[in-house]
């Protein structure tokens, strides 16, 4: 269960990188991701798992529906994760969400359409690779560690003018159980 929330926060954090702190080249690429309104297919791979679905994103809000029916939605206040199999929805305050701004203190290099960030002696990742298409939109983001690699692949990217805000304020079906701030629960 802990890993589900880790992946959810990692998905969320990809869209909230403080762009102005990055160099112009990488900043342009990440700015495109952060400031676009789009839908795309998203595949997330780890050593032992693969998750596929469709993501909708607009101005800090996202809606990710996985092929198995699970939904991750966030607006400016909350992140909601719904699992139709268990009929449980976790609602987490967004202010407690993560981020990947820690990569900014590490050197990186640009090679063609790819940025390689190498956090020296930093756990858990020894390398982060971001690749983009000819439109400067990230297509591949990899977090590489000694134990595992997490790969985010965006495909079939379609830019949109607007997405209904109701998509980002997801409401689980009636009869679902809700858990408030599950990441704050101490065991």
From 80-84, 154-158, 183-187, the region with the lowest mean pLDDT: 183-187
Domain boundaries, the chain: 2-184
Please tell me whether residue 135 adopts helix, strand or coil conformation: coil
Higher local confidence (pLDDT), 24 or 54: 54
**pLDDT category, 180, cuts 50, 70, 90?**
confident
Tens-digit pLDDT profile for residues 120-171: 776 677 888 989 998 888 899 999 988 889 999 999 999 999 999 889 989 9
Q: pTM above the 0.85 mark?
A: no
Cis peptide, bond prior to residue 36, ω within 30 of zero: no
| Contact in structure between 137 and 144 (CB atoms under 8 Å) | no
Q: Give mean pLDDT, residues 101-110.
A: 69
**CATH number, domain 2-184:** 2.50.20.10
Strands 78-83 and 88-93: antiparallel
**pLDDT category, 10, cuts 50, 70, 90?**
low
Higher local confidence (pLDDT), 140 or 3: 140
Place of tokens 């967004």: 94
Higher local confidence (pLDDT), 186 or 120: 120
**pLDDT category, 13, cuts 50, 70, 90?**
low
Residue 16 buriedness (CB in 10 A; 0-12 / 13-18 / 19+): middle
Does the pLDDT of residue 89 top 60, yes or no? yes
Specify the pLDDT at position 63.
Answer: 94
């Amino acid at each position: 269960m802990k890993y589900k929330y880790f992946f959810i926060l990692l998905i969320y954090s990809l869209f909230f990188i403080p762009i102005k702190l990055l160099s112009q080249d990488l900043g342009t690429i990440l700015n495109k991701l952060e400031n676009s309104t789009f839908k795309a297919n998203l595949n997330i791979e780890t050593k032992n798992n693969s998750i596929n679905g469709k993501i909708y994103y607009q101005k800090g809000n996202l809606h990710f529906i996985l092929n198995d029916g699970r939904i991750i939605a966030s607006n400016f206040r909350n992140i909601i994760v719904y699992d139709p199999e268990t009929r449980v929805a976790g609602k987490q305050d967004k202010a407690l969400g993560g981020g990947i701004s820690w990569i900014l203190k590490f050197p990186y290099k640009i090679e063609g359409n790819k940025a390689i960030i190498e956090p020296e002696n930093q756990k858990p990742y020894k390398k982060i690779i971001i690749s983009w298409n000819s439109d400067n939109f990230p297509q591949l983001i990899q977090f590489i560690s000694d134990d595992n690699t997490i790969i985010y692949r965006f495909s079939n990217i379609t830019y949109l003018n607007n997405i209904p805000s109701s998509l980002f304020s997801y409401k689980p079906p009636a009869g679902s159980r809700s858990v408030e701030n599950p990441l704050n629960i101490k065991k």
